[in-house]
Structure 1
Amino acid sequence: MVTTLTGQEIAEAGLDGWVHLSDGLRTRVATGDFGAGLALVQAIGAAAQEADHHPDVDLRYGHVDVRLISHDAGGITQRDVDLARTVTDLAQRAGLAPDGRDLQSLELALDSPDAAAVLPFWGAFLGYERRPGADDEVRDPAGGHPPVWFQASGSQEPRQRWHLDVWVDPSQAQARVDAAVAAGGTVVDAGEAPSYWVLADRQGNRSCICTWQERSG
């Protein structure tokens, strides 16, 4: 059994340029052109094959995004930390620097008094699948679109059914909250910060800014 790491353990690993979001460890390497990005991807691929642990890599014209998570363990493990360090080393050898501060992950949340009654529909409707041991969410099997998770709302019909959970690095959370407030929003509830802040737009539609901090996992 592979052991997953807690958020604090990941933070203590000191992975410069990497951020811990809801969908794994992530970074972005600005390459400046496609050729430099392709060379980095090839180097990452060779290292991943040697480690027998494979990241998700997204090659664009001016940057490469890398995401690491141990699917067999359902979270981030030491294998991911080790490969993150390898990716950082490969980038630095190429004169590049990982920097994930501007990255975020998105989850769609449906408030429901009975998640079990509606979860199968949304899985079929979206072509998503359920993961073993995760009874409150469905996910894109290819990992290309946001997951949908189902939040218990009690016996009363909720006022707002859908909301967004946007995960950011803890160093960026307050700035994101401040920007949303400056754009006309309000902080509805900061009682669980820095785990999450509940914000609303001018019409009362609520969503959350989330981080890994002060969570059990």
Structure 2
Amino acid sequence: MSDATSDRVTYDDVAAVGLDDWRMLVSGIHARFSTGSFAAGVRLVDAIGAAADEADHHPDVTLTYPRVDVALISHDVGRVTDRDLALARRISEIAVEQGVASDPSGLQQLELGLDSPDEAAVLPFWRDLLAFGGSVEEGGISDPHGRLPAVWFQDSGSEEPRQRWHLDVWVPGDQVQARIDAVVAGGGRLVAEYPEHSFWVLEDAQGNRSCVCTAQGR
């Protein structure tokens, strides 16, 4: 397995250690707990906070009615490590102790992809418009506070007519087919499949395309 200096934790690693509440998405491992009430959510968040302080490793926690979403990643190395797996296991134990069930079926993350023949010409505009500061990564930009979707730039030919914006919707690997089936049932069409690269291209009735993506296999 991984620590802060060894190989990164993979999608399959998370499943192999029995973290059934958790799924790896584009950034970190994620869990959703169905609390049923705001008060139950507050109790769960309080307990998660105490466990995080004890471990000196802190997740991103979102409290809403009637659920609590938790995301874990080792920010100092920019990937999931054994520290995240250990705290994820403890959080799942706390949820069981409090009688709170998880619901991984609703987990997803969103990225925005812009087709562009010249990334360098437009990247500063979008970085500054979205106030992402200096957070420029390879091929894209991201919100340093994690509040807004990341934006990345896909190289396209200058002569080729392209849809400019498309969405990358990241879902757990075990939810890919259900999401595709729902889109097709709603009038969409599966245009292309790239399971070896873990993404599927779908389009609406007017030809606008987006991708369903998963961290599984990456």
Question: TM-score by structure 1 length?
Answer: 0.92
Change beyond 3 A, Cα 1:59–1:109: same
Alignment map for 1:173-188 (pairs within 5 Å): 173-188=176-191
Name the structure 1 match of 2:203: 200
Q: Deviations over 1:111-144 (max 9, x none)?
A: 1122122111100011013447x22111112211
1:48 pairs with one of 43, 46, 52: 52
Q: What is the SS of the residue equivalent to 1:176?
A: helix
1:146 pairs with one of 132, 146, 149: 149
Contact 1:18 1:99 in 2 (8 A): no
Distance across 1 between alignment mates of 2:192 and 2:13: 28
Q: Percent identity?
A: 55
The amino acid across from 1:126 in the alignment is L
How far 1:26 moved relative to its partner?
Answer: 0.9
Name the structure 2 match of 1:27: 31
Change beyond 3 A, Cα 1:11–1:151: farther
**Gapped regions of structure 2 (runs ≥ 5):** none
- The count of corresponding residues between Structure 1 and Structure 2 is 214
1:169 pairs with one of 168, 172, 178: 172
Question: TM-score by structure 2 length?
Answer: 0.92
Name the structure 1 match of 2:92: 88
Contact 1:58 1:64 in 2 (8 A): yes
Alignment map for 1:10-159 (pairs within 5 Å): 10-131=14-135, 134-159=137-162
Contact 1:18 1:101 in 2 (8 A): no
Q: What is the SS of the residue equivalent to 1:14?
A: coil
Q: What is the SS of the residue equivalent to 1:95?
A: coil
Q: What is the SS of the residue equivalent to 2:194?
A: coil
Change beyond 3 A, Cα 1:214–1:156: farther
The amino acid across from 1:195 in the alignment is S
**Gapped regions of structure 1 (runs ≥ 5):** none
Q: What is the SS of the residue equivalent to 1:80?
A: helix
Contact 1:194 1:213 in 2 (8 A): no
Distance across 1 between alignment mates of 2:88 and 2:155: 35
The amino acid across from 1:139 in the alignment is S
Q: Deviations over 1:29-72 (max 9, x none)?
A: 11121221111111110110111110011111211111111111
Distance across 2 between alignment mates of 1:130 and 1:84: 30
Contact 1:19 1:101 in 2 (8 A): no
Regions of 4+ moved over 6 Å: none
RMSD, aligned α-carbons: 1.7
Distance across 1 between alignment mates of 2:190 and 2:201: 6
How far 1:164 moved relative to its partner?
Answer: 0.1
How far 1:7 moved relative to its partner?
Answer: 2.4
